[in-house]
A and B are shown apart, each in its own frame.
Chain A
Amino acid sequence: MKFNKIFLSGVAMLSLTACNDYLDVEPATNVADVEKVFSTEAGINTALNGVYAKIESDETFGNKLYTTLLLNSDVDFTANANESAQGTQPRRFDVRTDASDVEKLWNNLYQGVETANEFIYNLENSPLYEEGTTTEAVETANGLESHTIPAVTNLTQMMGEAKVMRAMFYHELLWYYGDIPFTLDATYKTDNLLPTVTKRQEVSDALIKDLQHAAEYMKSDKDATLGAPEHISQEACYAMIARLALQAGGYSLNHNEGDAANYTMTRPSNYKDYYQIARDYTKKIIDAGGHSLTKSYAQVFIDECNFLADNGDDPIFEIPFAMGANSCWGYQQGPASTVDTGVDTDYANSDWGETKGSSQTSYFYRYQFGENDQRRDYICGMWGYGAQGQPTLRICGSSIYTIYNNKWSKLWSNTRFGKSTTSATGINFAYIRYADVLLMFAEAENELNGGPTDAAKAAVKQVRDRAFRGQPNQAEMVDAYINAATSKEDFLKLVLDERKFEFAGENMRWKDLVRNNKYAETLFYTFMTYLAVAEDMGGSTSYMDMVEEYEGIEYSQLYNVYYYYTYVENYNGTSVNNLCHAYFPNSSLPMVYIVNPYTQGSQPSEEPQAYFDANGINAKAIALRSITGLNASSDKVQWYTTNGDSNTPDWSNDGTPRGQVLYSLFGYIRGDEQTGGLRIVNNGAVTPFHVNTDDPQSTVNSLPAVRYMLPYPEEAIARSGGAYKNYYGY
């Protein structure tokens, strides 16, 4: 009995004491303990890769922000013929709170925020992390002086990278949702699942302050150990500060106090403070002198498509996508190339696999450039490829209202991606470019000085110079053009136009317009242009004069003009100047020569053979043309055909503009097929709309604000227990 008790208590004591250790187990090997990760620099770097992975998601910077969430404007455009509300089309301001794109964007951006917050929190608490200072001898007028400067280490650099990425997520959240739930603390740390909704200005202030501090501890992109532009440098951080500042200082959609369903465009009263920040930080980058626009415009993007990351030219920060893993760049953009998987294809284009070509520009974008603008010739893609390798022209038709944006394409790559490939191209996207920095600087200078300064002009000149470099009209199009803008308004328009030509497909145009409260006007004219042209095709329109005057483009002169073209089987990189596509980077595919495809160009009067032969330019093209056996009549095309030409469908159906014309800006301005009238959405109410064609400006002045913002997703509202609420009539 006694022994029994001793034995038992012995056993019990033993196991009790051993117990706590016994239940303390190491996690599985496919997961990593946070504390251990943050105890080595290599581990921290791998964790930082996790933040990078978040900016590479298809739901955000990898695809959706540049396709389904790229709002329509006079640059980026997608046509939609649906005459009723879909609730799932943010590009035409037609969303419901349960739209999956809205929810996915929200979820992914907040996932990104949390990943960054969590990284930052853990790094701050890592025993390795320290924000120290060093002293440096600096030569001044008084001789050598000892200055205390922040000690930049690999870890402080990583901290900065994470903070910039966090700002990237919040930057988009601010654009798309306005006032947002905001926290710089990791959920992981606070266990607070519902951060409070914070006014956008407060969010911007906090982010700017955060980055201003972080930037001091970051490496310049001249530092070879950094790996810029694929890593975020101090300059990229400066640029991000400028972006946040311009966003904060610019106009945005605000719901009216007291009447949550209504909205107006307003900007903060101290907006100039923000412009000052933007100016100062862009100036830092310009002064650092690490970047110049040396390469041609096209080469910048062609290099991206060939996985060449250049440090020192235009790109300041490129999102480092990985082939096979992420990036839809070059898949969604560029000419479409269908690959029929059911057929064992042997066509040249199938070597690159499928390209969607779904991120496109307005059909009229190409006419807005100055003559010989090299950006125009590169960006505007007027043909794609069918399943059997044949080029197919983007002639306006019942289903064609846009043209390709040729900036990036898988087809530009020397790497042949493979027959069955689709997305995950790995093509980088230059999230921050030097051209953007220069133009932000110019915009801020203009605003702060009430007109252009020499520095502002010099900045724009750099951008414009590259576009017209080596062109006969360079002087006219650069110096004279810039000097002509003397007033603040004119120079602002010039800067915005320059951004328009520069950033197609980079999710910039609508933001630029919102910031300067010009979105309503631009959408109005975009809509009216499509409508006027379509009505004109169907018979007559009363809007043509108005839209022609606005952009200074004679749309009515585009009809009845034959544009001559010919197929070229494979141009092998031969110079094709004087024809259209100076920049068609792929030399292995058949391409199309189009003679002066823009309105500004003069069209030849002769038949194509005569034209080509007479100029002696393209004997080769002719030879190839005869091989492909095309007949003369198919060598010319009318981009716009009048009603009655039954072979080429058009934008008008029995005199009524088609749905794509009427409904592509559905949630702001639209037509009505039944009554023939126009409708505009004014504070949520669909109201009839009359255009004063005699005084278009009076119409423009009366335009209501565009509800460009997305609603908080239904799911977020439902899970908030009443903490979150939708405004703007959602």
Chain B
Amino acid sequence: MRRLCKLCLLAAFFVLAPPEVLAQTIAKGQVFDSNNEPVIGATVVEKGNPKNATITDFDGNFTMKLLKAKQVVISYIGMIPQEVAASENMKVTMKDDNASLEEVVVVGYTSKARKDLTGSVGSVSGAKLAIVPVSSAAEALQGKIAGVQITTTDGQPGADINIRVRGATSVTQSNEPLYIVDGFQVANINDIPPTDIASIDVLKDASLTAIYGAKGGNGVVVVTTKSAKAGKVQVTFNGRLSVSSLTRSMDLMNTGQFVDFHYDRAAASGTRSNWSRPFRGNFGNPWDNNLYYYQDTNDWQDQVLGNNPMSYSSNVTIGGGNESTRFNLSLTQSEDLGIILGSGVRRTNMNLKLNTKLAKNLELTYNSKLTYRRDEGAGGANIGSGGLVDRVLRYQPTAGLRSWGSYADMESVADAELFNLTNPVSDINTNTQLKHGYTFTNQFALQWTPLKGLCLRSEANYTIGFRDTERYWGWLTSTAQSAVHQQRPVAALTKRTSESYTWTNTATYDMTLKELHNFSFLLGQEIYNSQYKENKQTAHLFDRDIDAETALNNMALGTPYSSADDTYTLTSTPNRTASFFGQISYNYNHKYLLSGTLRADGSTKFAPGNQWGWFPSISGAWVLNQEKFLKDVKWIDLLKIRASFGLAGNNNISDDLWRYLYTTNNSGGPGFGESTTNGELYYGAPSSYPNKDIKWETTITRNIAADISLWNGRLSITPEIYWNTTRDLLYSSIIPTVSGYSRQMQNIGKVQNNGWELTINGDIVRGKDYVVSANFTLGHNKMTIKQLNATDKVLYEKAGAWKSQDEQDYLLQVGGELGLMYGYVYDGLYTWDEFTYPETSSYLATPRGKGSINGIHVGGTITDGYEGNNGNGVIASNNSGYSTLVGKIKLKDLNGDGQIDKSDKQVIGRTTPKWQGGFGLSGQWKNFDFTANFVYMLDFDVYNATAYALSSNSGNQNTFWNVYSKFSEDRWRYTAPNGYVYNDVDLSGECLYKNTYIDYAPTTYYRTLNANTTHWNPADLTTNLMIDAFVEDGSFIRCSDVTIGYSLPNSILKKISLNKVRIYASASNLFILTNYSGYDPEVDVQSGLTPSMDYNRYPRARTLSCGVNVTF
């Protein structure tokens, strides 16, 4: 490698060396960087005579003869060029070019000096990204930019990343920002290797996003990948190994406690035959329950989630070239294994960037990216055939009698083999999903600079993607158990080919008048198209013992299954936009800045006539420190006030909602002559009534901010305030069904996002060989729904995976915010005082209290759906009699009518974090570097539906769910525990109360047994309800990463002929400070209409890694 470098350098030397040597002055010396290391390959040019140049050698030395001038200009990429007087004994120390004020930011088809910006940009430099090992670019952004919230849906490797710039602008449509990578629009940044990234900029307000028009409505994330530096071939290698583990686990019942609980549940429930029989069938004679305390507990949590998978990532980058042609090639291979058995993501990426000057003023750029991604595992909701909750946490820890052998003579009890086949671990193996995704992107840009200041650019981006999903359900999965599949395996193959292109033509012209008036013009036009083809093939009725791979590799072994959702081919409607845009910027001596933008977008999502949307913006800035009155204040580097106003649009809705199109249906039609199996093909009405008038959703953004930089860049502060209004909100409204349709997409509704942000960066201490810097971001956003639709002031939403009985889980209310949880208020357990219990006899417990309602005597309130209240009760009569009895859960009767029903619900939680942001510390000392980053979200609620599942027991007498271990000691009991003696009466295992009757008189026994009980019996909670007892504060501060690195000193590097070697150790998600009792409070934060519902979510892992960065 060293030899190669040398050759290149030599070649460069010959190219750059002057043809003639006319020595007058000799310049000789050594160039060092800020760390006092020699700079290799720095260019040394005679001032005024660019033909006379040389570069420094391996020790930073140079010698050259000056022909005319007495000064040389020394430059090196990434460092500030210096003009130095020539001598024969020069020692030049270059300064790093990290002074952010001169930094160039890519904003909207052009780039600008940061100092000339009039809008809000949050940036993270590649240098910062490089230090921390992360598996995705977005992860690295977390908490680093104020007002930009980055969350992943859950802890699954490769999980979708939600980026929200300044809250959600839309209620129902996508709030994804626009992603621009190296100037080209892309669908997401999930698959860019973090090691390839040079910088990330997030454009937050309309003055910057308006140039992107509609697509920029939710903010723009601009990623610049690394480009090669001219004059030198550089090879870098990054390698990382990491190990993950579960951060916390749920405390569940062990085998003994579990069997005791289910005995309690079965004994007190129903009649002897229908509840006791399954219990005895599964666990044997209750007298022997004690034996289970000696039996091993199957800790499914440990078996499924307790693994410590090892992941790796490796990346090689080769970059280099000369003044006219530069290239950068990067190859990344990584695999991230999830902590859930059999889940993980493997990625292979190849990126090529090529930049060449075809002529003096003609430049060609060609980028090529090839991405392969493989996802294994179907996610938290699809662990085996029931999801994390049912298949891991609640799954019974013992097979009971089946652990010892078959008990096949009882019908309701499956045999031992069934248990082996259905237990969570084997279930995962028979319920598989494998996704492969290939993306091939080609980008060309041709840039012509015919005149100084004028730049014409044409760029094209063409991407093709292939994705296939292989899904297999073994015969014991619930899917396969359905009637149509006849308890035999099902396999489905989905293939999708997508194609998209963008073609952009721009012209920019910069000019300066009288050295004070700086103008810049931009005019451009763009077209965008994307389309996909998808086909899905499903086969079923496979042989039961077939394995996933065989079935998927030869679908012919099964029978084709041709229901409309399972077998189809589809070519989508092309999604196209055509755009024109222009921008004029003016500044007076970089002191007064003004910029105006106008963009017109036409979209195929709307009917002709409504296709075009106009998005103007205007912004200005005033650099105060340039004014006379501040010029003398030395400690102020920059004081700039900015303001902007603009419109942005959103067309993120389904295709063709504006025109009437039939759906084609191959099932459910008429069966003339019974000639077709599922009825004849027919055309059906569209599911949503088309609306010719739908148009762009528009967001008006207003922003006021200041950029402050103090003490020579040691402290920078950026406060911002914004208030954004989104109107003509695209919303699928309910329409009168006499029209024949129930929904129509309409432009109604209005939301408001108000907020402020603060970013502070500073070097706390700075010394000769050490620096410690800190950054802090804080964001506050408040969203208010101003209008929903024409008729509704309130709308309810049900939570998808976990929905409550009445399905009104979340509330959307005019004047309210998004994601309000809506439910009942827990009011403790019904107490003894509310009922009459005869002391000595086993009479029916007579409820007393409010007297008679509808002829039924009641205690406090009726919760019961069983009788007397028209079946509107929220808790059906459950295992031990009515749900309105002592020891049962009591919900607050908010309207005081004696009954608990829907009208007793209220807002019980809000899910939007009030404060969010992050802070970090980083520093260097000699050859050591360290970074620690924290993210926080404060004051928001999470519905812990997982806890609900582990505190309740839905299902029938044949289901044996596990619950929290806290219920083993302290729960309302109907049977006395083993060894329970009261007044010398041995009550071990006696059922004291059964089905509204005192089963074992006198009541004293039952009373005493439950005298100090604080928890309900999980068997009494049989339906899913939104109850405030399960709403938890989700506030957290997460230590997202801590990294310590060590770079080998140059003296050693020289010996081993390497340029740079850094080794590091890092911990991500090291700890989290929170009161939340579940795995992790960061679940679906601010995503969709039913956010923060913790159910079947993939737990986040703690990952320890170590790695190495080597530059040759």
Contact = CB atoms under 8 A, between A and B. Distances in A.
Contacts of B662: 31-34, 37, 47, 50
Nearest to A115: B685
A27 B870 contact: no
A426 B668 CA distance: 10
Nearest to B571: A29
A536 interface: no
Contact of B570 (A23, A29, A322, A721): A29
Contacts of A480: none
Contact of A118 (B509, B570, B669, B685): B685
A29 B791 CA distance: 35
Interface in B305-322: none
B671 A28 contact: no
A7 B456 contact: yes
Nearest to A106: B737
Contacts of B527: 15, 22
B674 interface: yes
B237 to A, nearest CB: 44
Interface stretch (A323-331, A357-365, A374-382, A459-467): A323-331
Nearest to A324: B678
B682 A52 contact: yes
B578 A194 contact: no
A115 B682 CA distance: 12
A107 interface: yes
A106 B738 CA distance: 8
A87 to B, nearest CB: 7
Contact of B576 (A22, A194, A320, A421): A22
Q: Which of B659, B682, B684, B736 gathers most chain A CB within 10 Å?
A: B736
Contact of A19 (B602, B672, B738): B602
B737 A111 contact: yes
A292 B735 CA distance: 48
A3 B569 contact: no
B359 interface: no
A15 B412 contact: no
Contacts of A53: 665, 668-670, 679, 682, 684
B523 interface: yes
A15 B524 CA distance: 11
A117 B740 CA distance: 10
Contacts of B406: none
A30 B682 contact: no
A342 B412 contact: yes
B525 interface: yes
A484 interface: no
A259 interface: no
B736 A720 contact: yes
B740 A323 contact: no
Contacts of B572: 28
A488 to B, nearest CB: 40
A416 B676 CA distance: 17
A28 B670 contact: no
B78 interface: no
B571 A37 contact: no
Contacts of B678: 322, 324-325
B603 A23 contact: yes
A231 B672 contact: yes
Contacts of A187: 689, 739-741
Given A26-B573, A50-B683, A320-B672, A719 B736 contact: yes
A413 to B, nearest CB: 11
A138 interface: no
Contacts of A521: none
A710 interface: no
Interface in A355-410: none
B680 interface: yes
Given A49-B681, A187-B689, A322-B669, A15 B578 contact: yes
Contacts of A8: 507, 523
Contacts of A188: 660
Contacts of B574: 25-26
B109 to A, nearest CB: 14
A200 to B, nearest CB: 16
B507 A4 contact: yes
Interface in B542-581: 568-574, 576, 578, 580
B549 to A, nearest CB: 28
Contacts of A630: none
Contact of A46 (B571, B668, B682, B791): B682
A230 B678 CA distance: 16
Nearest to B871: A86
A183 B664 CA distance: 26
Interface string A32-70: 111001000000001101101100100000000000000
Q: Which of B655, B680, B689 gathers most chain A CB within 10 Å?
A: B680
Nearest to A322: B671
A721 B486 contact: no
A468 interface: no
Nearest to B666: A325
Q: Which of B486, B602, B685 gathers most chain A CB within 10 Å?
A: B685
A422 to B, nearest CB: 7
A321 B676 CA distance: 11
Nearest to B572: A28
Given A30-B570, A194-B736, A12 B525 contact: yes
A716 interface: yes
A565 to B, nearest CB: 29
A4 B169 CA distance: 39
Given A15-B578, A322-B674, A716-B737, A28 B655 contact: yes
Contacts of B664: 30-32
A4 B664 CA distance: 51
Q: Which of A324, A342, A426 gathers most chain B CB within 10 Å?
A: A324
Contacts of B791: 718-719, 721
A307 interface: yes
Contacts of A426: 671, 674
B1049 interface: no
Nearest to B532: A28
Interface string B627-665: 000000000000000000000000000011001111111
A108 to B, nearest CB: 9
Interface string B186-217: 00000000000000000000000000000000
B660 A52 contact: no
Contacts of B672: 227, 230-231, 320
Nearest to A308: B674
Interface in A66-122: 84-87, 103, 106-107, 110-111, 113-115, 117-118
Interface string A463-487: 0000000000000000000000000
Given A47-B683, A323-B671, A28 B741 contact: no
Contacts of A421: 483
A110 B676 CA distance: 27
B520 interface: no
A11 B736 contact: no
Interface string B813-825: 0000000000000
B409 interface: no
Interface of B: 411-412, 450-451, 454, 456, 483, 486, 505, 507, 509, 523, 525, 527, 568-574, 576, 578, 580, 602-604, 608, 611, 655-656, 659-665, 667-674, 676-686, 689, 734-742, 791, 854, 868, 870-871
6 smallest beta-carbon distances between A and B, as pairs: A114-B740, A322-B671, A322-B679, A49-B682, A420-B483, A325-B679
26 contacts: A4-B454, A7-B456, A15-B578, A15-B580, A28-B571, A34-B660, A46-B680, A50-B662, A50-B665, A56-B670, A86-B870, A86-B871, A107-B742, A110-B737, A110-B739, A113-B740, A114-B739, A194-B736, A230-B670, A322-B674, A322-B677, A324-B679, A326-B668, A326-B679, A343-B411, A721-B791
Given A53-B684, A716-B736, 12 more contacts: A24-B608, A29-B569, A31-B686, A32-B683, A49-B680, A49-B683, A56-B668, A56-B669, A86-B871, A322-B671, A324-B667, A719-B736
